[in-house]
Structures are given as structure tokens and as C-alpha cells.
Amino acid sequence: MGTALVTGSASGIGAAVRKRLESQGDRVIGVDLRDAEICCDLSTSKGREEAVREALERCDGTLDRLVTCAGLGPATKRASLISSVNYFGAVDVFDGLLPALTQGAAAASVAIVSNSAQMAPLDDTPFVQALLDGDEAKASRIIDDMDSPIVAYMGSKHALGRAIRRRVRLWGTARVRLNGVAPGPVDTPLLKASLEDPIAGPPIANADLPLGRLGRPDDIAALVSFLLGAEASWIHGSIFFVDGGNDADIRPDRY
Ligand code: NAD
């Protein structure tokens, strides 16, 4: 029992995480464009600042759990909107709320990344570098010039995973755990929109998942809940794939 903040709480995975945390007795502060305690636009620095400021007021400076789920999929037309929400909409929230988490009881945080983050060689691209450098204007320029929502999606999730791992010492010293969960295709409005997209849709529709079904939002929420809990007290800085075997099937010799 404690206070948790969940971004993207109005739909899909974020809504399932919210439900689980509430069923465990947490007070959940939701952040989303609509239908949330804090309605704001995480694609802009102003919206992110508002979210952090209002969250700090609502939790009175003490937060026990944080989960960043808000995200846009590759069916989004403007590529830079994807990277602004998926990368900066997560990183700015977890950095802004670290001081409140340091006041929490056994505080822990999870960011939702994606198994697609490892499916293209994006490591040294200028786009990923600009994200990791915190240069939103440069990252937006690069990805809008490329005009590739898919690269924006995979690259923003790749950078987010690295942003988690880069914080392991600072957050560990603060005794706040931070991990990532990387889902495969999960049956949510984001996936439905992706399947209808002429470019993003076919590879997802043709994915032959080893476990033979799409993920359900609660498949992801179950792991998130475990990672936030006492039994995960030595798990920090890790990224967990929850994808019905999708990543192992595609890249069996890498992990
Ligand atoms: P969803 O569309 O059901 O939920 C995403 C939520 O984010 C929505 O409620 C939406 O309003 C919110 N959001 C979007 N833009 C926002 C903004 N600018 N400001 C504030 N909130 C905003 O999608 P989902 O599938 O539940 O996705 C949750 C997370 O999981 C995302 O980060 C997504 O990238 C990731 N993910 C999803 C899948 C999948 O197949 N569904 C796979 C891998 C990763």
C-alpha cells in the first residue's frame, strides 16, 4: 500500500497496471491526455513540467512507485511526436520524480519499452545519440527528415532502455529501483492502429508468435507489479522481455 504514479493510465497496458496496483491497495495518480487525475500532454516539455509539478503536489513529495506507460505507436504520422512522448515523456517524468521516490518506502519504478528496440541496429545512429544527449530539437529534426515513424518508435524505445541502464548507479545509490519491461505485440488500441497501418501493419500481422497468441495487457501488468514489489528487491537496471517468445524466436543467439 502506497502512492503510485502511472503514465498512460487511461488505456491498454497503463490501465491494466493501474487496476492491479489499485487492487493491491495503492492510491494511483494517473497521467494521460484524458480520463486521468493529471491530464497533460507529455509530448511537450511544458506538459511534462506540468505533470511533474502536479504529481509532486498530489503525492505531497512522497512517491512509492512509478510506471511510465504513455506511448505512441508506429502508426502515428509525425515521427517526432513518437520520440517526444516515448522517450522524453518517460525520462523527464522519472527524472522529475526521483526526489519524491527517494522519500518513498522501498521505492521502485518501471518503464515500458518494447521488444522492437533490439530488432534493428540503431545503437550508434545520430537519432538515438541525440535522444540520449537530451537534445529533443535535434532528435526531432533528424527523425522528421527521415520521415520514418517505425525508426522513431524502435529508436525511442532503444534509447529509453539505455536511459534506464545509464541511471542504475544514481538511482541505486538513492535506493530507488528502476527496471524496464519490453512487451511484444499486446492487444491494445496502439496495436490495433499499428495493424491497420500499411507499413507497420504487415510485419506485426505476420509475426508467428511461439506461444500462439497476442499478449494481453494484464500479462504485462503482472510482471510490472512483481518488479515493483518486495520480492524484486535485488532487481535493478534490467530489461525484461514479455513477448510470448517473439524476441528469442527472431534472435535466438543474442540476449
Ligand atoms: P494504448 O494506446 O492503449 O495506451 C497508451 C496511452 O498513452 C494512452 O492512454 C494515450 O492517451 C497515452 N498517451 C499517448 N500520447 C500521450 C501524450 N502525448 N501525453 C500523455 N499521454 C499520452 O497503448 P499500449 O499498447 O497500452 O501502450 C503502452 C506502452 O506499451 C507504450 O509505451 C507502448 O509503446 C508500449 N508497448 C506496447 C506494445 C503493444 O503491442 N501494445 C508493444 C510494446 C510496447
107 C-alpha to ligand 1 centroid (Å)? 23
Domain 3-244, classified CATH 3.40.50.720, yes or no: yes
Specify the long-range contacts of residues 78-82, CB closer than 8 Å, at least 24 apart.
78/144, 78/149, 79/143, 79/144, 79/146, 79/147, 79/148, 79/149, 79/151, 79/152, 80/139, 80/140, 80/141, 80/143, 80/144, 80/152, 81/43, 82/143, 82/149, 82/152, 82/153, 82/156
Instruction: Give residue-wise pLDDT tens across range 144-190.
Output: 999 999 999 999 999 999 999 999 999 999 999 999 999 999 999 99
Instruction: Give residue-wise pLDDT tens across range 108-118.
Output: 999 999 999 98
Domain ranges of the chain: 3-244
Instruction: Give residue-wise pLDDT tens across range 204-216.
Output: 888 899 999 999 9
Closest CA relative to residue 6, chosen from 220, 168, 171:
220
The CB of 246 under 6 Å from ligand 1? The reply is: no
Does 123 score more than 90 pLDDT?
Answer: no
111 C-alpha to ligand 1 centroid (Å)? 12
Instruction: Give residue-wise pLDDT tens across range 38-86.
Output: 999 999 999 999 999 999 999 999 999 999 999 999 999 999 999 999 9
Look up 153 and say whether it is catalytic: yes
The CB of 83 under 6 Å from ligand 1? The reply is: no
- Predicted TM-score (pTM) of this structure: 0.98
